Chains A and B, each alone.
Chain A
């Protein structure tokens, strides 16, 4: 099966600019996650979708971050305006529903904010 696709692979922007990341999950996976991984740390959940509804966005900085999952398939994550501390790898993952279903991750987008 095709894996989780993410783009772009790398992005460098200046602070206060905006940026968007795209994710295409594995076909048939109802659950989609966006994680932020700062260098040397474990992934931090930003938002979780079940189909096109938001299950959990409690750790999403909503003043600058937004995410959507139209039609329950692809998803975009946007940052506007970016701050220096947003420099991280943004990982998208998908899974089938169920507690035993593993997450399948994309290769991530490495964001550098200068």
Chain B
């Protein structure tokens, strides 16, 4: 069945460092891929998405490219800020029932 695997956290970086959070997936068909972010005390928010192979989603300086050949959707940002501290979830959209398959989440801590 479909599944999503994220790198374990927490990931701790200094401000202005380069960020990569790995996400790989297993799926049949052509799912959509999403990154959601959860700031402390808040609900989940869509960060970016990609709906087909080679698509690049981007938002707030974050990017992720849908790589079908490596079944990956890694999240990257060139220069992180303290305000990026949050939990990041990779998710796969099922085309059979409009449900999301969630990764376990990666906690990101940015130190000033």
Contact = CB atoms under 8 A, between A and B. Distances in A.
Contacts of A95: 98
A53 to B, nearest CB: 13
Interface residues of A, number: 27
A55 B96 CA distance: 11
Interface string B7-45: 000000000000000000000000110101000001111
Contact of B31 (A42, A99, A101, A108): A99
B70 interface: no
Interface residues of B, number: 23
Contacts of A43: 44, 89, 102
A108 B102 contact: no
Interface of B: 31-32, 34, 36, 42-46, 49, 51, 89, 93-95, 97-100, 102-105
Given A55-B97, A101-B98, 15 more contacts: A45-B99, A50-B98, A55-B98, A93-B44, A95-B98, A97-B98, A99-B31, A99-B95, A99-B98, A100-B32, A100-B51, A102-B34, A102-B49, A107-B43, A108-B43
